[in-house]
A = this chain, B = another copy of it.
């Protein structure tokens, strides 16, 4: 099931999170960002529906993560409320009260239980959330709910993101037309004092809560968890899946042929969003896809791919359009992956630069041209087994240093 999905007959759709039937979204200004910029997003279903969520593994979990873990425990949700500009992290007991207040305000406006509302925040760490501003803006967000476009919601969750990230696809599943949509934010993992990857995926497939949970975990493991901009998993990372069932038909449970199809659609949506996050890494000039193949195991392949993708030396070399495979070899050697130092091969942008652990002559001009493209691949073969993994990252640039070094000074 780790083979990359190949979905016959799928089509891209418009609308992001509201592309599937049964969802509305809005983005409003709660006054957290300056200049009345959008900073509060709401995604709501018509009723309480099956849902699942995964959260950061960071031991310093933000207040909304603590509250939302509790709320998702029953496998149901009606809405997701997300503010940007303040992470509500390292804010103690008051922070948790503030996260609860956000859920309460949405529950009151939508006439549902507070435990049906998932809360997420992204922004500055360690500063009390102006919760009053947020709750005061909730009725307006409910008023603005709209089933035609996910644009304002996708815009309202941006922090250092340079573009709003949305995608949706539809496909036929046993005669039903199923749509999966999504939106995400995230560039640096804890951008200028900001936190977080946040993603919301919606579908009108009639999935059970168990199917939501299984599909989301599978997709996240191979997509959002394979993106690395600077290793800094945040205090606030949150990914939610909501299944309205509005496409009709029988419930889809794990293990069924329909489940596999819907899972693959969710996977494709998550992968598209993950690639957008890597491409929009702070200051990035290019998307880098690192694929390690013929490793002793999939987990070895992932270790090696992450070590390469996180190496500042590899990332600066790619900023300089430099096919500097010695740095990839160095990263390979210090990863925990099993390695035969006389057997590994490295390609940059499809050009062989290292074979059996030794350099091979290559056309520097051709390599330079290939590395100047906005998407670059690094391919590694270890010749040890059939493990493989793909990780997405970006280059490390002057702009990354500027964004992250000059934020407050």
Residues of A with Cβ closer than 8 Å to B?
57-61, 87, 89-92, 124-127, 188-190, 193, 195, 230-235, 310-313, 316-317, 319-322, 324-327, 329-334, 339, 341-342, 354, 356-359, 368, 396-398, 400-402, 404-409
Contacts and interface: CB of A to CB of B under 8 A. Distances in A.
A404 B61 CA distance: 35
A210 to B, nearest CB: 29
A306 to B, nearest CB: 12
Given A90-B354, A320-B407, A358-B90, A329 B60 contact: yes
A406 B312 CA distance: 14
A231 B359 CA distance: 23
26 contacts: A59-B333, A60-B332, A60-B357, A89-B329, A90-B326, A90-B354, A90-B357, A90-B359, A92-B342, A92-B356, A92-B358, A125-B329, A126-B359, A189-B313, A190-B326, A190-B327, A193-B327, A230-B313, A231-B334, A232-B330, A232-B331, A234-B330, A316-B401, A316-B404, A317-B405, A320-B409
Nearest to A408: B322
Contacts of A311: 230-232
A310 B312 CA distance: 10
A351 to B, nearest CB: 15
Contacts of A324: 193, 407-408
Contact of A124 (B90, B326, B406): B326
A385 to B, nearest CB: 16
A321 B405 CA distance: 8
A91 B58 contact: no
B232 A320 contact: no
Contact of A405 (B188, B193, B195, B316): B316
Contacts of A190: 313, 326-327, 330
Contacts of A232: 311-313, 327, 330-331, 334
Given A231-B311, A406-B320, A408-B322, A334 B58 contact: yes
Nearest to A57: B334
Given A90-B354, A230-B313, A396-B405, 13 more contacts: A87-B326, A90-B357, A92-B356, A125-B326, A126-B359, A190-B326, A195-B330, A232-B327, A232-B334, A319-B401, A319-B405, A320-B404, A324-B408
A393 to B, nearest CB: 12
A233 B233 CA distance: 23
Nearest to A371: B409
Nearest to A66: B341
With most chain B CB atoms within 10 A of its CB, the pick from A87, A401, A402 is: A401
Contacts of A310: 231
Given A324-B193, A332-B59, A357 B407 contact: no
Contacts of A358: 90-92, 126
B316 A409 contact: no
B320 A89 contact: no
A230 B327 contact: no
